[in-house]
Structure 1
Amino acid sequence: MKSNIPFACSGVSRMFQIVVIFLLVSVGAPAQEVFRLTGTVVDKDTKEPLLGVSVTDSTTRRGIAITDLDGRFAVDVHSGSILRFSMVGLKSQIVKVKSSQKHIKVEMQQNEVALKEMVVSAKRITDKIQPEPTDIEVRGNYLHVKTRVRVPREMFSRNNRLVVQPVICNVTRHEEQLMRPMVYDARTYNRTQDRLYDYRMNDDKGDPLARYVVVRSDEMREKGRTNDIIGYTDSSYVEHVKDNYTCNVYMAIENYNRIIYRDTTIIAQGTVNPLRWFDYSFAASQFDDESYWPKPEVQLRDSRGEVNLRFPISKAQFDDNDPNNVEEIGKMREQIDQVMSNKDATLHSLAIEGTSSPDGRYNANLQLAQKRMDYAVQYLSRLVPERARRNMKFSSEASVASWSRVAELLRADSLPGEARQVEEVIKRWRSIDEQSRNMRKLPFYHSLLMEKYLPRLRRVGYVMNYSVFRQLTIDEIRQLYGEDYRQLSKYEFFRLYREENDSIQREKMLRQALEMYPSFMVAANDLAALLINRQAADPDLLRPFAGKEAPMVVNANQMIALLNAGLFTAADSLAAFVPDNERTHMLLAVNAVLNGRFDGYYETVASTGLRNQLVVLLAMKRDEEALKLCQQLPDSDAMTHYLKAICFNRLERISEAYDELAKAIQMDPSLKQVAHTDGDVNDLLLDKEHK
């Protein structure tokens, strides 16, 4: 569990709080080249190796190693690092590391430590407070620690309190999490503490450590010895289970006045997590339940249809027998009929816009253009049925094209010289009438402008604008999307991205849909599925939607995204909302196994492959069966030898374990870094570095 442990408010407990905080705070060091340093710690007089010596980085005051049965340790340091070697009953040793050193030998000598109200004799390992070395086991996203603490009677008087604070250290990210503390009170101390709080020690305003207190009793005595034994187990939630972790323990003894003893040690390095090698992959699904699909929405739309009518020179009316005009009027009639035949559509307005050529007098041209528009709108309005015409708005607007438009047409036809001369006239004469008079002086006015370009402008273009309530076609949706995607409804986004085959473009459309409609669950699910199937799962996409009331496909896809992100506990919280059927059975089985539940699921996950079966057996601690299964794996695969090393090491066949790990690292050197963080084999790596 994550904990922000409240330390006692008494003067003594506040002193302990200060000590623990001081021990936990790290000071950054400048980046330097890091190298591996190994060493051995021995008794200076007897030359015997010392077990349980704490190695601390004096700069950060962080415990970084603890010696094993042979007095050996291995740490990552840089040149100039200052290491402190400490153990109760022995004089601390300070060593400054040099870049030329790869292995050091440290000698420590005994020291009689006189403490008020107690004497610590540390001539033997049993005469010190020593949490037992243990493993950090991974289950889901929880790191589990189980250990025992031996407390020699000689170290503990009736007026003392012992506080043991385990800390999970994420070595990869330089983060720390306090676990539940062990608080061990002598009877007299506990009674006195209760009196200090007016016999309300366990109240909210009492001793903040009261809920963790165990009072010393004869039942805690180690059988056949005088030491007391405190059992401990706790777990801590972490998001990054594949990171490198250690479990440090900070210990202190206090009386009513002061802290009289403190020490730091490491009880676990790396994590025991064979399921790190479990291989799984699931395909995510789009929403196939049409009841959740967005429905078409009736919306006001503006559509544009263009017709081109020819007017005789200087005439305000067009000839409706002209073949071109007959064709254009037919197109407009077809558009109007299409709108009127749609029962969901209503024609609201018809606007006619026209432009005349710039030759001649401007005002005369504008008046003529307006008369043409008025005639056109009057004529075309008769194409609309009488019943619809009553509620419609008709309008017309006219304009005169500029000579700049003529220059644009010339340039478009690769006539830059002529275009330049037209532009020079425009630049010299500001009045459009003056421009028209001077254009006639150009040598190509009659042969080119009059014959080809001015008629193109006099051929007036009209745009029919009509508003309808209707469902757009996919082509119209694409056009609207190209103009401005913010105009699209949920239904139109849905149709658009479901029609899109390019996954990159589809992802873009889905993200735009969610930008406009954050609660669009179908789009969120389909985007999540697209990313999962691309091996780029985003566990945040479906977080707002997943849960008890969510459709099965949403919860299943979110489980896949969370599992792929290593958030096993979060995935497990959704498992109850996913029915166990043929489609989801494997997903639920893998989720259960990754969260440490094997009963009823082993056979299912074992069917996914020999390696998966083997690592699940290791997770279940069925090591003999796992070793037998290793024989069926290919000998040419480095992972085969790595897994054999785990099996042999667990079965205490150390020599064989060492040989298999050496083979694995020789075949795949990257496994060496993995082994440093793997609690199943990192002791073998330490052996190797000392040979």
Structure 2
Amino acid sequence: MKKILYLILLAMLTGLESQAQSNVVYKEQIRIENQSVSRNADNLLTISMNVILLENMKITSNHAATLTPILELDGTNKALPPIVVYGRRRQLVNERNNNVPQDAFAIVRRKRHSEQRVNYLVQVPYEAWMQHAGLVMDADLCGCRDLVEAGTLDRIATLNIEPPGTEANIAYIPPKAEEVKYRTIEGRAFLDFPVNKTVIYPEYRGNQAELAKIRTTIDTIRTDLNISITGIRIHGYASPEGGYANNARLAKGRAEALLNYVRHYYDFPEKLLSMDSTPEDWAGFRKFIANSTLPQKEEILQIIDLDEKDMDTKERRIARFVGAKTYRYLLQECYPALRHSDYVISYKVREFNVDEARVLIKTHPQQLSLQEIYNLAQACQPGSEEYNHAFQVAVLMFPDDPTANLNAAAMEIQRGGDLTAAKKYLAKADPNAAETINNLGIVALMEGNYDTAEQYFIRARKAEQCNLPKK
């Protein structure tokens, strides 16, 4: 699938005109012809017209006239640069005093009994309220007043800037290839040990089931011909009750015991095996308390968060604070779960072609790279069930990847699916990418928010231009 960016709706942004027949304003002394209003791709409103001073327009030699085009709608208005028409003597005086208006579009010296033409052309930033605004003319022929209410003035034209119904191009991003597909699988074992012991007794309490769980995890990877194990790491933890030094010994010794079990059961190369330990699992303790309904949980959390080096003192402080009943509850319901051995099995997966990926996406999608899933989608009919499923699996396997989320959003948009889901995915895509901004514009377009959509498309085009390689 080719990479499609903001290239969406130049038709939506250009050629949006409002035309009117020539008309005469201000007591039939000024004629307006060829008026045109258009909006371009840079979101600028271009106003052009011929302003003709008719033969019967009279300005005495000492006076000036200010002709100010105004955009107005329901009390909101924007005055455009005026045309200033001087009488002969007024022009000479102003020039001599260096009193020439700086904001005027044009300064004209009036020629009596002659028709004079000003080709008026200005650009202003487009604002949403201008979509159906009126273009009117304030003609102050005496220079003696401020602008009057725009709604009372002669109307030149009514704007009608409507976006046409144009199909937008949805943006996908081809993912980058993984040089090597490294993966991990994690588990947690709750082995039971006799008090103060570090020897594993397989038949003791629930150890048989826990050891079987570890072996099943290892065997699933070890027997898969697509996979090579690159490491097995054990991390042991003890619970906070008791002395810290003894807990450090227990956590380390029990982790070593489990590593030795794996070492002797499988005879793995020694370089694949490693271990670590944490004397007391205070992070797990904090999580348990935070999720509990204990009435004193906020105070307990404050004690846990104290920057105290003597962990035994901290644990005793908690025991005294909560009282005997709650402490017994912690000993029975919390602390046993904090005595655990976590294991991480690292492995790498070989590369797959499209035909292999078509099978694996249904059985072992975790073995596929984001690029392999994308390549599978490209081999499918766009919009087909298999095509949509590929992008759904991609974002499921790589939930935090910006590209996976961008493409999942594009798929939802393309199939006319759940725009809420599309927006959720786009929130996790790269916010500065032209493709993300483009697709946000399409969502806004589908929801009928035309002005918002156009703003996104303009931003997308600018973002793409910034990313183009410099020549």
Aligned with residue 149 of structure 1, among 39, 49, 53: 53
Query: 1:528 matched to which residue of 2?
Result: 441
The 1-side partners of 2:425 and 2:165 are apart by 26
| Contact residue 29 and residue 56 of structure 2 kept, 8 A | no
Residues 399 and 478 of structure 1, relative CA distance in 2, 3 Å threshold? farther
Q: Deviations over 1:451-509 (max 9, x none)?
A: xx48992895321135667847977965985xxxxxx3433433554577642343143
Change (3 A) 1:209 1:353: closer
Query: Hey, what does 1:245 align to over in structure 2?
Result: 135
1:352 aligns with 2:235: yes
Closer/same/farther in 2, CA of residues 476 and 210 from structure 1, 3 Å limit: closer
Q: Which residue of 1 aligns with 2:215?
A: 330
Aligned to 1:507: 423
Work out the CA distance in 1 between the residues paired with 2:87 and 2:217: 94
CA 1:510/1:382 → structure 2, altered by over 3 Å: closer, same or farther? Answer: farther
Determine helix, strand or coil for the equivalent of 1:139. Answer: strand
The aligned runs of 1:39-54 (5 Å cut-off) are: none
C-alpha distance 494-469 of structure 1, shift in aligned 2 (>3 A): farther
Taking the aligned partners of 1:395 and 1:185, their CA distance within structure 2 comes to 97
Structure 1 residues 208 and 237: CA distance shift in structure 2, 3 A: closer
Q: CA distance change for structure 1 residues 153 and 248 in 2, over 3 Å: closer, same or farther?
A: closer
CA shift, 1:167, in A, is 0.8
Structure 1 counterpart of 2:14:
none
Counterpart of 2:457 in 1: which secondary structure? Answer: coil
Q: Is the contact between residue 308 and residue 328 of structure 1 (CA under 8 Å) also seen in structure 2?
A: no
Secondary structure (helix, strand or coil) at the match of 1:317 reads coil
Q: Which amino acid aligns with 1:507?
A: K
Which residue number in structure 2 is paired with residue 167 of structure 1? Answer: 68
Q: 1:271 Cα deviation (Å)?
A: 4.3
Q: 1:245 to 1:326 in 2, by over 3 A?
A: same
Distance 1:314 1:505, change over 3 A: same
Aligned to 1:372: 254
Look up the match of 1:317: 199
1:304 maps to which of 161, 186, 201:
186
Write the letter of the residue equivalent to 1:131.
Q
Contact 1:297 1:489 in 2 (8 A): no
How far apart in 2 are the matches of 1:263 and 1:228? 28
TM-aligned CA deviation for residue 237 of structure 1: 3.5
Q: What is the match of residue 29 of structure 1? A: none
Is residue 286 of structure 1 aligned with residue 190 of structure 2?
no
TM-aligned CA distance change 1:184 to 1:136, over 3 Å: farther
Q: Structure 2: how far apart are the matches of 1:534 and 1:401?
A: 50
SS at match of 2:212: helix
Q: 2:115 aligns with which of 212, 219, 229?
A: 229
Matched, 1:396 2:276: yes
CA change 1:134–1:283 in 2 (3 A) is same
For 1:232 and 1:431, how far apart are their aligned partners in 2?
Answer: 86
Match of 1:457 among 330, 336, 361: 336
1:138-167: CA deviation from partner (whole Å, max 9, x where unpaired): 4324444444324569966xxx58754321
TM-score, length of structure 2 as denominator length: 0.53
Q: Tell me what 1:176 maps to.
A: 79
2:176 to 292, 295, 316: 295
Sequence identity percentage: 10
Helix, strand or coil for the counterpart of 1:347? strand
- Give deviations 1:580-612, integer Å, cap 9, x for gaps: xxxxxxxxxxxxxxxxxxxxxxxxxxxxxxxxx
In 2, the alpha carbon distance for the partners of 1:287 and 1:434 equals 58
Q: Distance in 1 between matches of 2:59 and 2:234?
A: 100
Of 445, 455, 460, which residue of structure 2 is paired with 1:540?
455
SS of alignment partner, residue 465 of structure 1: strand
C-alpha separation in 2, matches of 1:384 and 1:521: 51
Unaligned regions of 5+ residues in structure 2, if any? 1-23, 39-44, 295-311, 350-368, 374-391, 466-471
5+ residue gaps, structure 1, are 1-51, 53-64, 69-129, 197-204, 222-226, 254-260, 417-428, 482-487, 551-691
Q: Compared with structure 1, are the counterparts of its residues 476 and 395 closer, same or farther at alpha carbon in structure 2 (3 Å cutoff)?
A: farther
Question: Secondary structure at the residue paired with 2:429?
Answer: helix
1:228 alignment partner, SS class: coil
CA-CA distance at 1:529 after TM superposition: 1.1
* DSSP 3-state at the match of 2:68: strand
Larger Rg: 1
Aligned to 2:352: none
**Structure 2 contact 66–84 (Cα < 8 Å) conserved:** yes
Correspondent of 1:139 among 29, 37, 42: 37
Amino acid at match of 1:379: Y
Deviating more after overlay: 462-471 vs 173-182: 462-471
Aligned partners of 1:210 and 1:496: how far apart in 2? 51
Pick 1 or 2: higher relative contact order, CA cutoff 8 A, min separation 6.
Answer: 2
Q: Distance in 2 between matches of 1:434 and 1:151?
A: 99
Q: How many angstroms does 1:286 deviate by? A: 1.6
Q: In 2 relative to 1, CA 150–366 (structure 1 residues): closer, same or farther, beyond 3 Å?
A: closer
Measured after TM superposition, the shift of residue 249 of structure 1 is: 2.3
Contact 1:131 1:149 in 2 (8 A): yes
Kept in 1: contact 2:53–2:117 (CA 8 A)? yes
Alignment correspondent of 1:593: none
Q: Which amino acid aligns with 1:178?
A: P
Q: What secondary structure is seen at the aligned counterpart in 2 of 1:367?
A: helix
- Check 1:213–1:305 CA distance in 2 against 1; reply closer, same or farther (3 A cut): same
Secondary structure of 1:542's aligned partner: helix
Report the AA paired with residue 294 of structure 1. P
Please give the per-residue CA displacement for 1:185-217, whole angstroms capped at 9, x wherever unaligned.
Answer: 69xx89x999x8xxxxxxxx9x9999855685x
Corresponding residue pairs, total = 349
Shift in CA distance, 136/332, structure 1 to aligned 2, threshold 3 Å: same
CA deviation string 1:499-528 (max 9, x = no partner): 77642343143134234xx1x222222221
Contact in 2 for aligned 1:165/1:251 (Cα 8 Å): yes
2 CA distance for matches of 1:144 and 1:230?
A: 17
Describe the shift of the 1:381–1:332 C-alpha distance in structure 2 as closer, same or farther (beyond 3 A): farther
Deviations 1:363-417 (A, max 9, x none): 6565344322211123325678856x52x56123154689x97xx89x98x9x9x
Q: CA deviation at 1:301?
A: 7.1
Cα 1:509–1:435 change in 2 (3 A) is closer
Contact 2:71 2:79 (C-alpha < 8 Å) held by counterparts: yes
What residue identity is the alignment partner of 1:353?
A: G
On the 8 A contact 1:179/1:235 being kept in 2, the answer is: no
Match of 2:406 among 485, 494, 500: 494
Q: Is the 8 A contact 1:311 1:459 kept in 2?
A: no
Query: Is the CA contact 2:236–2:251 (under 8 Å) kept in the aligned structure 1?
Result: no
> TM-score scaled by structure 1?
0.39
The answer (yes or no) to whether the contact 1:308–1:460 under 8 Å persists in 2 is yes
- SS of equivalent to 1:543: helix
Q: Distance in 1 between matches of 2:63 and 2:393?
A: 77
Q: Is the 8 A contact 1:252 1:263 kept in 2?
A: no
